[in-house]
Structure 1
Amino acid sequence: MNHFALPGGAGIDLARFPVDARDRLRAWDASDDYLLQHLADAEVALDRSPDGSAGSLVILGDRWGALATALSAHAPVQITDSWLAQRATAANLARNGRPADAVRLLSSRDRPPARVDVLLVRVPKSLALLEDQLLRLAPAVHPGTVVVGTGMVTEIHTSTLELFERVLGPTRTSLARRKARLIFCTPDPDVLAARPANPWPQQYPFPSDVPGAGALLAGRTVTNHAGIFSAERLDIGTRFFLEHLPTPADGHHVVDLGCGNGVLGLAAALAAPGAELTFLDESFGAVASAEQTFRANADPATKAHFTVADGASGLAPGSVDLVLNNPPFHSYQAATDATAHRMFADAKRALRQGGELWVVGNRHLGYHVRLDRVFGNCRTVVGNPKFVVLRAVKR
């Protein structure tokens, strides 16, 4: 847990979600601090508009709820693509004695507020996600809307500023402070009226040159919402995994853990239409992508569930026969294996005796060591200079 000092001398206690005593990463950074200090110094009016319309203050991309918790007295709306960010916000509100309904939590797939008077943007890693969200919010923005973005210097690029200018209006940046920078955008009626159409979600045909389970997907349409990993083409790790994917049996319960656009689970469903599939991801956009990809290609009789959650923690113990997993190794800009390790432990808990976890990962990450520690066994199925496919069995 971290103590976050606020302008004026007060402070709040913050933690990421789920709380891990070994995790030394903070739930806020200098860009959050810079933005809050600017709001205080500039005396930006954060309360509801004079006519009382809801959604006056919108916080976009708040990573662990630092901004929403700090500004909870102003009834903000938080919009995020991350289920973990929502849970972190709820936990941080409770941790600091703030009412649970002090912040309205919306996902990236929810309908945005009808009016935005103050828009605070924590610049995301994905420019595509920022594009999608700004275009979705643009109809609610008006010439009087105060728009301030924030991010670390390494996260704000010329393309970031050009995107604000193309969707909302003239944009400039602040001087850097503690390696953080602010973005100031002035909404322009002409720019708002002429904004481009939202290109998301996007689709691509699955390539026809992927052997193994990939052959079942050849030519099929894959749907990708903004912000998911490798949204414009099949990534090489998933390609390698599909070449060596196990074939489930009809009646088996298969989980695509960290599903992204769901091509692993779809391949399993096409190989065994009588199997039951569960697609899990902490990204709202990823689960929406997986569901659209599945519905467009799978046998309608195949049973499937689509759940936004933290890994497989919500699955009943002993209810799963096979887990397919291509785990992430970044949490925003920080490289970390904490998410993968949590996925492995959750998978073991959800698997029946004899059930299997199959993982693809970069060779240098050393997932085999953790899998052997969690399961008591781990076998390398296949490898190449960059990736390995690993198999662990619950015994």
Structure 2
Amino acid sequence: MRADVGDDALETLFLPFIDATLAWPSSGGALFLRARDGWPLHQRAWPGLRCEQSFRPAAEALERSGLSLADENETSRVPLVLVLPPRQRDEARALLARAVARCAPGGRVVACVPNNEGAKSGEADLARIAGPVSSLSKNKCRVFWTAPIDGPADAALATQWARADAPRPIAEGRFTSRPGVFAWDRIDAASRLLASHLPHDLAGHAADLGAGYGYLTAELLTRCPGIRAVDLYEAERRALDLARTNLASFAGRVALQFHWHDVTRGIDGRYDVIVCNPPFHAQGRGDRPDIGRRFIAVAAQALNPGGRLWLVANRHLPYEAELDAHFTRVRTVAQDGGFKVVEAMRSP
């Protein structure tokens, strides 16, 4: 999100510091979990602020604004931990537990959630593991914060929640996934439809754009023995780490490269085959068909002459004009369950 675009949750998160309800730490720094760039981060100096973000577009926006990024494997404790919890409940609880664990003795955790995304539940969850909290509401959001704490009020529950988004087997043990990634607890129906129509003669160097936890690449390699290498591009680092695990058994047969990357910014490789189930949301709820259209344009630029794009999308998404603009041959292979599978080819 650009720094000049409104972000109600981000604005409300910083409100207690702007109105002097809370004091920014004079030393020791602050950690911002699931940070997003926006004008509240630039309205005044926030000494010692470091930001953590696993979604590549948001991480790049923070970097472009000159903000310092923290590694999620760090364990140092700081006097202030800010959090924008995600929507998925297990993932959000794990993040709150980690926020408490990263908070130095006498420090505070401050979080903000939009009202329509479970603000009251988020406030109650933080209170359950950290003790009494205070809060205020504005911009249809709720910001809530702990008293100075010296660790979790309920250590057993905090430990339980810290493990709530741990990787676990899904699909009868075929894959490993975790809460918060796309279609985390199942094989996505659209991706399954695409996989079922992949022809066995696909061969050469392939790419998977928006690879998630690796399902489409696994299906491509299982069904198409002529594929000799796959580059996986995924904006969510948590999903990409899962893909590494899920595809480890193929590493001895094909060359695999994993790219933490925002596909909408373009890719450098050249490919014979591209498979894609493009996202049609960013970090908001509204449809974003522009993302899928950009994925199609990037795929067209990255395919070798004669290369083939295999794409699945919701039937209502308007991708046909973009496909016709970039490919010489486009055909709808299947339509089922509200989805469409399309093959598009470049001229040899």
TM-score range, shorter chain: 0.7 to 0.9
CA distance in 2, matches of 1:48, 1:226: 36
Return the offset for 1:140.
Answer: 2.0
Mean Cα deviation higher: 325-334 or 29-38:
29-38
Structure 1 counterpart of 2:130, one-letter code: L
CA distance in 2, matches of 1:138, 1:88: 26
Mean Cα deviation higher: 127-136 or 329-338:
127-136
CA distance in 2, matches of 1:286, 1:326: 14
Which residue pairs with 2:100 in the alignment?
A: 138
Which residue pairs with 2:61 in the alignment?
A: 88
Say which of 104, 111, 130 aligns to 2:68: 104
Deviations 1:152-187 (A, max 9, x none): 221234442343234433345423x23222122344
Return the offset for 1:361.
Answer: 1.1
Say which of 35, 52, 61 aligns to 1:62: 35
Say which of 172, 178, 181 aligns to 2:139: 178
Which residue pairs with 2:168 in the alignment?
A: 203
Percent of residue pairs bearing the same amino acid type: 25
Which residue pairs with 1:231 in the alignment?
A: 184
TM-score with structure 2 length normalisation? 0.87
Return the offset for 1:72.
Answer: 5.1
Q: Quick check: 1:112–1:136 contact (8 Å CA) kept in 2?
A: no
Return the offset for 1:388.
Answer: 0.6
Residue 237 to residue 133, structure 1, CA distance change in 2 (3 Å) = same
Say which of 313, 316, 332 aligns to 2:283: 332
Mean Cα deviation higher: 346-355 or 125-134:
125-134
How do 1:377-392 residues align onto structure 2 when only pairs under 5 Å count? Answer: 377-392=329-344
- Quote the RMSD (CA, aligned, Å): 2.6
CA distance in 2, matches of 1:45, 1:157: 23
CA distance in 2, matches of 1:73, 1:129: 27
Return the offset for 1:73.
Answer: 4.1
TM-score with structure 1 length normalisation? 0.78
Which residue pairs with 2:78 in the alignment?
A: 116
Residue 106 to residue 272, structure 1, CA distance change in 2 (3 Å) = farther
Deviations 1:85-125 (A, max 9, x none): 1111122x2xxxxxx4xx32135xx3134112112212323
Structure 1 counterpart of 2:196, one-letter code: E
Residue 88 to residue 158, structure 1, CA distance change in 2 (3 Å) = same
Residue 48 to residue 309, structure 1, CA distance change in 2 (3 Å) = farther
Q: Quick check: 1:48–1:57 contact (8 Å CA) kept in 2?
A: no
CA distance in 2, matches of 1:38, 1:221: 47
- Confirm whether residue 287 of structure 1 aligns to residue 229 of structure 2: no
How do 1:142-153 residues align onto structure 2 when only pairs under 5 Å count? Answer: 142-153=104-115
Say which of 310, 323, 332 aligns to 2:274: 323
Residue 47 to residue 160, structure 1, CA distance change in 2 (3 Å) = closer
- Confirm whether residue 125 of structure 1 aligns to residue 87 of structure 2: yes
SS at match of 1:339: helix
CA distance in 1, matches of 2:77, 2:151: 15
Say which of 33, 49, 56 aligns to 1:76: 49
CA distance in 2, matches of 1:269, 1:105: 35
Say which of 3, 7, 12 aligns to 1:34: 12
Return the offset for 1:57.
Answer: 0.7
Unaligned runs of 5+ in 2: none
CA distance in 2, matches of 1:114, 1:152: 29
Structure 1 counterpart of 2:31, one-letter code: V
Aligned length: 341
